[in-house]
Amino acid sequence: MEMIPAWLDGGLHPVEKLEVHRRGLRHRAVSVFLLCGGDLLIQRRAMGKYHTPGLWANTCCTHPAWEEEPRHCARRRLKEELGLAGLSPVLRDQVEYRADVGNGMTEHEVVDLFLVHAPERPALRPNLAEVMDTRWIGLHALKAEVARDPASFTPWMRIYLEQYAERIFGPDLA
């Protein structure tokens, strides 16, 4: 049973991850965006995921374990989902959003947003239990694709691009 930090009774407490999403509790999260040149690595979530399976999302995301530092969590998830090590995520901002993610579940996240710049495209070793596909795409092309076919993308990916792109990528790329 995976316990994640969620706000209950006015404080942060460890709560089982599925319960957090079923109850729509406000909780901690981490999202990572890996750029190489002007292209962003996005992933398509595995079909076995308990919410939003088969949808495209940012490079990786997760919930920190109880008392886990967000930067450590970002590095851990890059390795667990994509087989990437040795990268240095930079904290860009912290945002909060609430979104229905289907199957009676709600994400109400306080998210630490991390950006990673890679000098060249790294070799990926996706964990097929987490990731069914990956691709690199320019941000402007991604925004156009999301506008054309929003149902193919996770709610948080749409929120990040619509509301927080400049805070994540900076004014030159957003």
172 pLDDT tier (thresholds 50, 70, 90): confident
**Burial (Cβ within 10 Å: 0-12, 13-18, ≥19) of residue 47:** exposed
Q: Measuring CA to CA, which residue among 39, 160, 149, 9 is closest to residue 93?
A: 160
Please count the CA atoms within 13 angstroms of the CA of 40 that sit on its side-chain side: 24
Q: How do the domains of the chain map onto residue ranges?
A: 3-168
Read off the pLDDT band of 131 (50, 70, 90): very high
Select which of 61, 73, 81, 107 is catalytic: 61
Element (H, E) at 172: none
Name the nearest CA neighbour of 134 among 62, 79, 82, 78. Answer: 82
With 90 as the cut, is the pLDDT of residue 16 above it? yes
pLDDT of 1 higher than 90: no
Name the CATH superfamily housing domain 3-168.
Answer: Nucleoside Triphosphate Pyrophosphohydrolase (3.90.79.10)
Q: What is the pLDDT of residue 10?
A: 84
Of 36, 68, 109, 120, the catalytic one is: 109
Average model confidence (pLDDT) for the chain? 96
How many helices, marked H, and strands, marked E, lie in the chain? Answer: 5, 9
Residues 6+ away with beta carbon under 8 Å from 125: 82, 83, 84
Question: If you search the block for the tokens 């402007």, which residue do you land on?
Answer: 140
| pLDDT at residue 41 in the model | 98
20: pLDDT strictly greater than 90: yes
pLDDT single digits (tens) 46-65: 999 999 999 999 999 999 99
Rounded to an integer, the average pLDDT of 106-125 is 97
**Per-residue model confidence (pLDDT) at position 39:** 97
- In contact, 153 and 146? CB cutoff 8 Å: yes
pLDDT at 171: 87
pLDDT, residue 28, reads 96
Q: Which bin fits 102, alpha (ψ -120 to 50), beta or left (φ > 0)?
A: left
Q: Answer yes or no: 81 catalytic.
A: no
Query: How many angstroms from the chain centroid is the CA of residue 42?
Result: 10
Residues β-bridged to residue 14: 5
Residue 173 pLDDT level (bands cut at 50, 70, 90): confident
- Looking at residue 88, its amino acid is S
CA distance 31 to 59: 8
When pLDDT is averaged across residues 85-93 and rounded to a whole number, the result is 96
SS3 136: strand
DSSP annotation of 51: S
Q: What is the pLDDT of residue 117?
A: 96
Q: Would the pLDDT of 80 be above 80?
A: yes
Q: Is 109 labeled as catalytic in the residue annotation?
A: yes
With bands split at pLDDT 50, 70 and 90, how would you rate the model's confidence at 27?
A: very high
